[in-house]
Amino acid sequence: MTVLSTSLPRVKRSSLANALVITRREIKDNFRDWRIMAPIFILTLIFPALMNFTAQIAINWVTKYDAVIVGERMIPFLLMIVGFFPISFSLVIALETFAGEKERNSIEPLLSMPVTDLELYAGKMLAALFVPLTASYFGIAVYLVGLYFSIGWTPDFWLLTQMLLLTTAKGLVMVSGAVVVSSQTTSVRAANLLASFIIVPMTLLLQAEAILLFWGNYGVIWLIILALLVVDLILVRMGVRIFNREEILSNEMDTLNPSTIWRDFKGCFLRPPQQALKQDAPLPRLNPLNIWRNDIPYLMKIYRLPLAVVLGFWVVAIAAGTLTAPLYPLPPGMLDLNDISMGAFKDVDRFSVLPGLGAGGIFMHNVRALIVSVMLGVFSFGSLALIIFMLPMLLVGYFAGAVNLMGYNAWLFLAAFVLPHGIFEVPAAVISITFTLRIGAALVSPPKGLDVGQGFLWTLANFSKIFLFLVIPLLLAAAFVEAEITPLIVHWVYAY
Q: Which of 79, 107, 174, 428 binds other proteins (CB under 8 A)?
A: 107
- Using the rule CB under 8 A, give the single segment among 27-35, 340-348, 399-407, 459-467 that binds other proteins: 27-35
Nearer to other proteins, 112 or 352 (CB): 112
Spatial CA neighbour of 425 closest among 392, 474, 464, 369 = 474
Question: 348: which residues sit within 8 A by CB, 6+ positions away?
Answer: 354, 355, 356, 357
Q: How far is CA 125 from CA 4, 37, 244, 461, 492, in A?
A: 34, 18, 14, 34, 64
Shortest spacing between CB 36 and other proteins, in angstroms: 11
Q: Which is nearer to other proteins, 109 or 331 (CB)?
A: 109
Stated as kind and residue range, the H or E segment containing 164 is helix 157-183
Return d(Cα 367, Cα 361) in angstroms, integer: 10
Could you say whether residue 256 binds other proteins (CB under 8 A)?
no
Binding mask 212-251 for other proteins (x = CB under 8 A): ---------------------------------xx--xx-
Provide the phi-psi class of 354: left if phi over 0, else alpha when psi is between -120 and 50, else beta: beta
- Quick check: helix, strand or coil at residue 46? helix
> Closer to other proteins at the Cβ: 109 or 332?
109
CB of 451 to other proteins, least distance (A): 9
Residue 249 CB, nearest distance to other proteins (Å)?
A: 6
- Closer residue to other proteins (CB): 177 or 455: 455
Residues 30/37, Cβ–Cβ less than 8 Å: yes
8 touches other proteins by CB under 8 A: yes
C-alpha distances out from residue 270 to 144, 259, 299, 451, 460, Å: 63, 16, 14, 20, 13
Q: Which of residues 331-370 bind other proteins (CB under 8 A)?
A: none
**Taking a C-beta distance cutoff of 8 angstroms, is the pair 321, 401 a contact?**
yes
33 to 72: interface string for other proteins, x by CB under 8 A: x---------------------------------------
Which DSSP category does 75 fall into?
H
Q: In this chain, which stretch among 77-85, 106-114, 379-387, 460-468 interacts with other proteins, using CB under 8 A?
A: 106-114
Cα–Cα dist 373/385, whole Å:
5
Which residues lie below 8 Å from residue 383, measured CB to CB, with a gap of 6+? 377, 440
Task: Tell me the window of 24-32, 68-76, 154-162, 392-400 that interacts with other proteins (CB under 8 A).
Answer: 24-32
Instruction: Report which DSSP code applies to 390.
Output: H
When the beta carbons of 13 and 304 are compared against other proteins, the nearer one is 13
Q: Report H helices in 380-418.
A: 383-405, 410-417
| Residues 154-193 contacting other proteins, CB under 8 A | none
Stretch that binds other proteins, among 55-63, 86-94, 100-108, 330-338 (CB under 8 A): 100-108
**Alpha helices, H only, 96-156:** 101-103, 107-111, 117-151
Q: How many residues form the binding site for other proteins (CB under 8 A)?
A: 39
Shortest Å distance, C-beta 116 to other proteins: 7
Q: Is 294 in the site for other proteins (CB under 8 A)?
A: no
The contact mask relative to other proteins for 265-284 (x = CB under 8 A, - = no) is --------------x-----
Please give the residues from 108 up to 127 whose contact with other proteins meets the rule CB under 8 A: 108-116
**What is the contact surface with other proteins in residues (CB under 8 A)?**
1-13, 18, 21-22, 25, 29, 32-33, 104-116, 245-246, 249-250, 260, 279
